[in-house]
Amino acid sequence: MKKTLIMGLALVSLMACTKNENPLLTEQNTPYGVPAFDKVKNEHYMPAFEVAIAENKAEIEAIANNPEAPTFANTIEALDRAGGLLNQVAGVFYNVLEADGNDEMNAIAEQLSPMISELSDGIILNDALFQRVKTVYNERETLGLNDEQMRLLTETFKSFAQNGANLPEDKKARLKEINQELGLLSLQFGNNVVAETNAYQYFVTDEAQLAGLPESAKAAAKEEAVAAGRPEAWLFTPKRTSFTPVLQYCENRELRKELLLAYTTRGNHDNENDNKSVIVRTMQLRVEKAQLFGYDNPADYILADCMAHDAKTVDAFLESVWTPSLKAAKREAAELQKLLNKDLPGEKLQPWDWWYYAEKLRLEKYALNEEELKPYFELSNVRKGAFDLATKLFGIKFEKLEGMPVYNPEVEVFKVTYADGGLVGILYTDYFPRAGKRPGAWMNNICNQYIDADGVDHRPVIINVGNFNKPTAGNPSLLSMDDVETLFHEFGHALHGLLSKATYQSLAGTNTPRDFVELPSQFMENYCYHPEVLKTYAFHYQTGEVIPDELIEKINKAGTFNQGFVQTELLSASILDMDYHKMNTTEAFDVNVFEEASMKNMNMLSEIIVRYRSTFYNHIFTTGYAAGYYSYTWAAVLDADAFAAFEETGDIFNPEMAAKFQRLLEQGGTRDAALLYQEFRGKDADAKHHMKRCGF
């Protein structure tokens, strides 16, 4: 006993010393308590995690071994409030890792993965702790809990049960091994995609090969080449900001093919960054894990806690939207083939032709050229348009903060307040690509919203990240139409996090079922090209002229253009995801053969490549959307129906509807998602609004 006491005192002394020296562990002496990004160095991360993990383990042991009878307060609430220091450290590390990582941070992440997995399993598989949770759960009807408390109790019990607490000891031991290996595989997959993206460079030395490419795209490619030490050339990479203009405008068919294939074959080159073996092993482990819990396949195991509930429901849903989407895509392909025939008689339309001829067709049908629009979509103006929209709908205001600690000079910080000046939260925006940033766009929490035991409401710190065009020597950052939608989309996620008014952080903000979480983000997309909203942000970056009515009319007339392609590309990725996660065998397989069979079974058009091919499909192999990519379309039905609720009033800013939608956002995951939507709308969502929006 004395030896244990001495060791315990030594650990406390070590932790105190470490905390005093480590900016990740000290109280944040910064404006609004944001992380001291400017003081954090790589060497701070691992010591901080070691201390935070030890502290979290001690908190869990105290709850599990509490001699008092289990109650909602000393068990369920205590669990939700445990791990505060770990959340503080992880909120810095993982956000920086994704947005501005490096090899050293990747190595730290690999070292951390089994530690975090062990901690998580040590909580979920702690039988003494689970018995306390189970006792409270069994007494739930007698405890006089409010709706949010009941939701927390139910979700806590389900989390334990669905993650192995009821398994026998031998299966618990195997589950721990599976979880640790899956964590490392996820990191490996993501790192491979980043490495493949950064490794590929295509230099063009003859400007004639860039015929048709806009001057702005050529200028960006020239700057990339100069930075790479090749000032005589133009550099293109598999980053969307680099190759998308080539696909849309460049007359050079071989260059279009080269860059599209470079993008779509990442992680599929039989080299050190190849992801095929990572996928095979991941799926073997996911199947084994699902079957440990008595499910036939990973999809049914994963979907049990979603709105859809099972793979059969998702399959039926996807089929209902796939059929009209594919039919529309076939019509579009026939139109594009006719255009191709004029240029290259006898040639068949290929995936690297679609964007190019779709752009020609859009110009022919609607006289709409995306390059004509870009001067009106200057990044800071578009962001301000999104901010102003939130002000009009929800009465919140945005103020840029100078001199705030950031992890990269390109990051900007905003204070968000209510009309009365009360703090809503802090928003970071980080919009430009860099070598250490993973592809895509996302929202994340840096600090969660919650109300502590003393009744203090801790407001959230949220981040929006993108990979938009960087400013060049001659132009500011000018966005494409897709970029504008992406900015509004991720800002919708940010609002979901910022407006949160939950007591418990595990139910706050975006902590909702996965097939509900995309509703707020996709809802905001409905506004970005509405005439009333466009005129608030679409100003020509050189003249200050507001976007003319004739351009707005063209945008709206072309609103359903190419939707067969858009929906088919999206839905094929959803079906591929489901095909992977309906696997019920742990036998090895050939990833390329599997993907090809999936495309064949869905009758995928050869002229379209699935949005995410397997070997760079981060959504399902790294970021938590396994058996869940369908949720973008599921939520599209919800968001179209929600926007229709505003339209039916004759006012897209209707204050009564806005207040109802704000209430939906504020509640996060504190209540059942279906009930939340029914309360907002007065009924279930009707898919006709989504189909109408697509033009089907």
Q: pTM of the predicted model, to two decimals?
A: 0.93
Shared-domain flag, residues 154 and 220: no
**Alpha-carbon distances, residue 220 vs 100, 214, 237, 498 (angstroms):** 21, 10, 11, 34
Summarised one tens digit per residue, pLDDT across range 98-129 is 999 999 999 999 999 999 999 999 999 999 99
Known catalytic residue: 399?
no
Shared-domain flag, residues 535 and 676: yes
Domain assignment of residue 356, yes or no = yes
Shared-domain flag, residues 16 and 109: yes
The total of structural domains in the chain comes to 4
Shared-domain flag, residues 155 and 303: no
What is d(CA 279, CA 285) in angstroms, rounded to the nearest whole number? 10
CATH of the domain at 462: 1.10.1370.40
Tokens of 128: 């003494």
pLDDT of residue 474: 85
Q: Last residue of some domain: 145, 166, 187?
A: 166
What is d(CA 39, CA 540) in angstroms, rounded to the nearest whole number? 39
Shared-domain flag, residues 508 and 657: yes
Shared-domain flag, residues 16 and 68: yes
What is d(CA 442, CA 464) in angstroms, rounded to the nearest whole number? 6
Shared-domain flag, residues 396 and 476: yes
Which of 332, 307, 329, 305 is CA-nearest to residue 317?
A: 307
Shared-domain flag, residues 410 and 466: yes
pLDDT of residue 28: 82
> Which listed residue (223, 490, 518, 525) is catalytic?
490
> Three-state SS for 91?
helix
Q: Within 13 A of 127's CA, how many CA atoms are on the CB side? A: 6
Give the list of residues 6+ apart from residue 556 with CB closer than 8 angstroms, or none: 529, 531
Written as one string, the DSSP assignment of 562-578 is: THHHHHHHHHHHHHHHH
User: Which portions of the chain are predicted below pLDDT 70?
Assistant: 1-20
pLDDT of residue 27: 85
Give the list of residues 6+ apart from residue 312 with CB closer than 8 angstroms, or none: none
CATH of the domain at 305: 1.10.1370.10
Summarised one tens digit per residue, pLDDT across range 23-52 is 999 988 899 999 999 999 999 999 999 999
Shared-domain flag, residues 655 and 521: yes
Written as one string, the DSSP assignment of 428-471 is: EEE-S--TTSPSS-EEEEEE--EE-TTS-EE--EEEEE--PPPP
Contacts 24+ apart (CB under 8 A), 255-258: 255/202, 255/204, 255/209, 255/210, 256/352, 256/353, 256/355, 256/356, 257/350, 257/352, 258/202
Domain assignment of residue 233, yes or no = yes
What is d(CA 234, CA 225) in angstroms, rounded to the nearest whole number? 5
**Alpha-carbon distances, residue 253 vs 69, 210, 248 (angstroms):** 72, 10, 11
Q: CA geometry: angle at 180 spanning 175 and 181, to 5°?
A: 100
What is the 8-class DSSP label of residue 203?
E
> Residues 228, 230, 234, 240: what is their CA dihedral angle, to the nearest 10 degrees?
-10
Q: How do beta strands 397-401 and 412-417 pair? A: antiparallel
Domain assignment of residue 529, yes or no = yes
Q: Last residue of some domain: 166, 187, 213?
A: 166
Shared-domain flag, residues 614 and 540: no
Domain assignment of residue 175, yes or no = no
Q: How do beta strands 450-451 and 412-417 pair? A: unpaired
456 burial via Cβ count (<10 Å: 0-12, 13-18, 19+): exposed
Domain assignment of residue 182, yes or no = no
Q: Tokens 């006089």 — which residue?
A: 144
Q: Last residue of some domain: 166, 190, 217?
A: 166
Domain assignment of residue 306, yes or no = yes
Summarised one tens digit per residue, pLDDT across range 400-455 is 999 999 999 999 999 999 999 999 999 999 999 999 999 999 999 999 999 999 99
SS (H, E, C) 45-84: HHHHHHHHHHHHHHHHHHHHCCCCCCCHHHHHHHHHHCCH
Domain assignment of residue 425, yes or no = yes
Domain assignment of residue 183, yes or no = no
Residues of the domain holding 35: 2-166
Shared-domain flag, residues 337 and 424: no
Shared-domain flag, residues 57 and 135: yes
Which of 277, 278, 104, 105 is CA-nearest to residue 183?
A: 278
What is the 8-class DSSP label of residue 343?
H
